[in-house]
Every structure is written in structure tokens, then in C-alpha cells.
Structure 1
Amino acid sequence: MSRRSESYKSLQQVEASSENGTSTPPRALLSLCSVWETSIQKNDKLVMISSTRNNNNNKKEHMTVFHGSKAPKLSITRYMERILKYSRCSPSCFVIAHIYMERYFTKNGGFLTSFNAHRLLITSLLLAVKFLDDRYYSNAYYAQVGGVSTQEMNRMELEFLFSLEFRLFVRTEVFLKYCEKLDYVGEYQIRRPIISGNAK
């Protein structure tokens, strides 16, 4: 591949520290959060419309171990920044986590909402870090960063792994294609909810 996407390049950059000691997230991660935020907003509206109707034929959101009893106040973007700050994982792990989430929805159905986004992100990111990075923190540490108990973190990890049938490998060309898609997020807002994907 002769040309590397701008998002791919931004994932490889060493981010300069800001005045308060935190790192500025790479452009690719901000683009990825834009995709998530747009999907969450659209899917939340669909769930709300569905819940206000009394027709039993309407599809309702399927509750999973990744659903919280209430939507966190922290946005998915701020949540990503918190994870990036404290986990010190490679930024590429977030793109891999996104691919895992698409695989999850493709196999199990459902969609990203404010009730499941945070738990799906911390779980898929944990698996991406374990698969991609040489060094990483324990499940207990990630549970603390993600705002869940260690027991919940372990349970979600197992559920996610079995849902994906332990298929965690991502081909280089697939990863690069996702990075290329992120190049256009800033210029063209992605309105499609994350319901299914074609990650191989």
C-alpha cells in the first residue's frame, strides 16, 4: 500500500503532552468517537420511539450483560480519553476495539446505545490490548478505569470472547481500510448507526 491514511499516521504519532500532563488524543480517535457519538444519538432515538409504542410487534432493544441500568453521564468521547490516559495502551487498540464491536453486532444483532456503549468499549478495548500490546494492566485495573467491578469486567470479557468465538485476529488490510474511513469523518458526518459490519 503506497499511501498511508492520515488517520493511520495520527495513530503512530507520539502525542505531545499538554500543560496539565495529559496527552492529546490522535485525530483518528476523535474521528472514531464522532462515529460512536452519532450512532448512539441516532439509536437512542430509535429505542425511544420504539418504547413509546404499544405494538408488541415492534422490536425492542435486547438487554445484555453490557447494558447498564442507566446511561452514564460521561460521554463516550470523554470515556475514551479517560481510558487512553490511564491505560497507556497503543491508540491502534481503539480501532481494533471498534472492529470487534462491529463483529459483535454482526453476529449477535443489536446496536450501540448510551446504555451499552461504555461497557462494550471497555470490554472490546481490554481484548484489543491483550491481543495487540506486549504489556497491559490487569482486569481489575481496567475495571477501575472503566467504572465497573472486577467481577463485571471478567464476566463481560468472557461473554464478548464467546460471542466472537474467540476470533480476535484482524488482518492488516482490514485495519488500514478502517483507518481510511476515519479520514472522512471530520469532513462528512457519518449518520449510519452501528448495527452490522463487514470485518473479516
Structure 2
Amino acid sequence: METLALKTENACSETYLRLGLGESGKGSTGKPRLLSYLSSLLERSVEKNERFLETTQTKDVITIFHGSKAPSLGIGLYIERIFKYSCCSPSCFIVAYIYVERFIKRTNAVVTSLNVHRLLITSVMVAAKYIDDAFYNNAYYARVGGVSTLELNKLEIKFLFGVGFQLFVSSDTFGKYCALLEMEGSGGVQIERSIQACGIKGSWPNNEDSTCATAAR
């Protein structure tokens, strides 16, 4: 499948390859490195958010994405499961994360262990429908995500309204999020180099997306 990364004219090709948007960016298991980087980013966000809710004694606002308890399958394994069975392009996971950021920004949601799995399967499915040439129906994604088709249908509608149906992702925004994930994978060592390589200014733009919003909530 042709991906957003391959369509990008001003592509940060080295960053894309390191993340796994090309063959050289795959780890020893054959999975794109961006999957582990994304899971690490989300795990830290969940930990930080839940610690904040606990220490401030703030009640989390329960939404349709919340389960009664956290799934036994961790975030990393869940992302790997989605990648293995959905057959979507690796770019979908970057776009999905951008969508989750938009959802958070517009709804003031807090990503926790109770809702992160449903946000993931919904956002990846929406991303696949928007940027991939071929994709499965909702019933298939529901089986992959471990939810019912009816539930996923409701989640999709809620998610689309949550992001204001803003599904377009510019090549510039895509590149910025790729750099963000590479920073996560390098533990901050390559921050300056990644930013310069993708032509990113010292701060993230406010007009389209504000990266790191997940970690900030």
C-alpha cells in the first residue's frame, strides 16, 4: 500500500526509515520500530496521567471509551496485535496518534489505562480508512481490537465528532510527529538533530497540532 510517508515530497527520509516506514527501519522481529516508540510514549502518558489523577484526587470523566477495568493485554502487545492483523500501513499508527492528540485537545480527555486501548483501535481504523488504499470493515477491526462491532461503530462515531471530522494530516505535521517518535526511541539524545533534520522550529506550532498533548494531560 502507498503510504503518507511515501507521498510526502519534503520527507525526512532518514527519520522515516529509522522508524520503520521502510525495510531498514524494522527491528529483529520484523516489526517497525515506531510501534515500540509509540507504545513507550503512550505508556508514559498513561502513567503520568493516572498519577496526576491520584495525587490531585481528580475524578476522571467517564466516556464511551472507558472500560470497567484495564485490559490484561498491555499497550505494546495491543499495538503489535493491531499491526499484525489489521495489515494497515505503518503510517497509520503515526496518523492515528495525531488523531488521538486532536481528540484530546478538542475534548479535554485524559488518556488512561481504562480508555487507551479503545482509543487506539478506533484511531487506527479511522486512519486506515483515510490514508490506505485498502482496509477491512468495522466487524474485522472489532475482532482485532477485542470489542463488539456495535461498540466499535459507536466508538467511531464518537471519535469522529471528537476530532471534528478533521482527518487531513499535512506532510509537515506528519514529519513533526515522526521526529517526536524518533526522540522517544532515542531517549532524547537525538532531539536537536531530529528537529533540524525535519526543519522543525524550536517549538511546536499551535495552528494545526500541538504535539506532546497526550503527555501533558
Q: TM-score, normalised by structure 2?
A: 0.77
Of Structure 1 and Structure 2, the greater helix share is in 2
Distance 1:150 1:106, change over 3 A: same
> How far does residue 12 in structure 1 lie from its aligned partner after superposition?
2.3
Instruction: Measure, in 2, the Cα distance between the counterparts of 1:117 and 1:3.
Output: 29
What is the RMSD of the two structures over their aligned residues, measured on CA atoms?
2.4
1:35 is aligned, of 41, 65, 69, to 41
Q: Which residue of 2 aligns with 1:79?
A: 78
Task: Provide structure 1 residue ranges, at least 5 long, that are not aligned to the other structure.
Answer: 52-58
> What is the count of residue pairs matched by the alignment?
185
Any conservation in 2 of the 1:102–1:195 contact (CA below 8 Å)?
no
> How far does residue 164 in structure 1 lie from its aligned partner after superposition?
1.4
> Is residue 161 of structure 1 aligned with residue 160 of structure 2?
yes
Q: Which residue of 2 aligns with 1:140?
A: 139
Residue deviations 1:25-72 (CA, integer Å, cap 9, x gap): 211221111100111111122223344xxxxxxx42111100001001
Aligned structure 1 segments of 4 or more residues deviating by more than 3 angstroms: 7-11, 14-18
SS of the residue corresponding to residue 174 of structure 1 reads helix
Q: Which residue of 1 aligns with 2:196?
A: none
The one-letter code matched in structure 1 to 2:94 is: V
SS of the residue corresponding to residue 111 of structure 2 reads coil
Distance 1:183 1:154, change over 3 A: same
Residue deviations 1:59-110 (CA, integer Å, cap 9, x gap): 4211110000100111111000000000010011000000000000100002
Q: Which residue of 2 aligns with 1:101?
A: 100
Instruction: Measure, in 1, the Cα distance between the counterparts of 2:168 and 2:12.
Output: 23
Q: Which residue of 1 aligns with 2:205?
A: none
Task: Provide structure 2 residue ranges, at least 5 long, that are not aligned to the other structure.
Answer: 1-9, 189-211
Instruction: Measure, in 2, the Cα distance between the counterparts of 1:196 and 1:107.
Output: 14
Q: Which residue of 2 aligns with 1:44?
A: 50
Q: TM-score, normalised by structure 1?
A: 0.84
